[in-house]
Amino acid sequence: MESSSADFSTILNRILDTAADNLRIAKILVQMGLDPNSITYDALFNRLLEIVLANITLANMFALVGAVFLVATLLMHTMVPLRVANMAGCTFFVAFGALSGNVATFILYLLLLPINAIRLRQMLNLIKRARIATEGDTSLEWLKPFMTERKYRRGDKLFKKDDAATEMFLTVTGKFLVREIDVELPPGRLMGELGFLTPNKRRTATVECIEDGQVMTITYDRLLEIYFQNPQFGYYFLVLTSQRLLENISRLEGIIAQEKAARQTPATDDIA
């Protein structure tokens, strides 16, 4: 055991000695073609300038521009410009790999290009559909690429009132009943979106499956991720959910008006 520790210590010391030797200023200056004993700032500057000029090639210029775009992606807060800058950087690195004969770099960034293009297209479609939703079309089917499928049988409860809310639903097939207000939800309707907006994230009603069907689900964490990737989507989603809330309020007002009318009718009959 002691011998093994000693061997490891010896190897580590050799590695450190070698690294320290390679990092010595004198050795670096010699590798640059300078004399460590007669070094001046002018000589160092001129030598660095010569190295830079010697390495100015079309391939390296492409690599430099590509690096600028990729570094810029780290400073961006929204996803659409980030994807665009990433694609630009990948394009320049593909050109660098082709001109320099670096196969690994060429293949890597060539594969990254379509991946970024697909994600960019999804995000742009998301924004476009969300904008359409604010103009009257409240369908949320454009969220399907970001959702997962789930099936329910008749009698299954999707969630109960006061349950913890963690996801939103979009009905695809079947029928679902909101117990508290006795309202059926056909395909294409949104469920559970209010839990995303309430502070305590609790269900405000019970939803039960009354006809075998399929829904698409998306977690609130995923919605937050999409929002932070593109705040513009967050605005449109807020408008859309507000429309849903206004629809619910209008429905409840109609129920209250019917109840009032029903109460007033017997009184009128008695007077007659």
Q: 194-221 pLDDT, tens per residue?
A: 777 777 788 878 899 999 999 989 888 8
The residue that leads in pLDDT, 64 or 267, is 64
pLDDT number for residue 124 = 82
β-strands 148-152, 157-159 pairing: unpaired
> Mean pLDDT across the chain, nearest whole number?
78
Return the C-alpha torsion angle 241, 247, 250, 255, nearest 10.
Answer: -120
Inter-residue contact 166 to 201 (CB < 8 Å): yes
- Asked if residue 1 has pLDDT above 50, the reply is no
pLDDT number for residue 267 = 52
Closest CA to 110 of 84, 85, 91: 91
Range 113-131 average pLDDT:
81
Range 246-271 average pLDDT:
71
What separation, in Å, do the N-terminal and C-terminal C-alpha atoms of the chain show?
108
Please report, for residues 56, 261, 264, the alpha-carbon distance to residue 268 in angstroms, rounded to integers and kept in the order given. 96, 11, 6
The conformation of residue 89, written as its DSSP 8-state character, comes to H
Residue 262, token pair as written in the block:
């029903």
β-strands 190-191, 207-219 pairing: unpaired
Q: What does the alpha-carbon distance between residue 168 and residue 215 come to, in Å, rounded to a whole number?
A: 10
Range 50-76 average pLDDT:
82
Inter-residue contact 148 to 218 (CB < 8 Å): yes
Pick from 6-10, 62-66, 202-206 the range whose average pLDDT is largest: 62-66
Inter-residue contact 90 to 109 (CB < 8 Å): yes
Please report, for residues 73, 168, 252, the alpha-carbon distance to residue 202 in angstroms, rounded to integers and kept in the order given. 37, 12, 20
The residue that leads in pLDDT, 116 or 258, is 116
Name residue, tokens 């300038």: 49
Q: Is the dihedral of CA 197, 201, 204, 207 positive or negative?
A: positive
Q: Is 122 helix (H, G, I), strand (E, B) or coil?
A: helix
pTM: 0.45
- Asked if residue 183 has pLDDT above 60, the reply is yes
- Asked if residue 149 has pLDDT above 80, the reply is yes
The residue that leads in pLDDT, 200 or 172, is 172
Closest CA to 230 of 116, 130, 109, 161: 130
Long-range contacts of the stretch 90-99 (C-beta < 8 A, 24+): 90/66, 90/116, 91/66, 92/62, 92/63, 92/65, 92/66, 93/62, 93/63, 93/66, 95/59, 95/62, 95/66, 96/59, 96/60, 96/62, 96/63, 96/66, 99/57, 99/58, 99/59, 99/62
Range 258-265 average pLDDT:
78
Per DSSP (E only), the strands in 99-195 are 148-152, 157-159, 167-178, 183-185, 190-191
Model confidence at 262, in pLDDT bands (50, 70, 90)? confident
Please tell me the total number of residues recorded for the chain in this structure: 272
Inter-residue contact 207 to 162 (CB < 8 Å): no
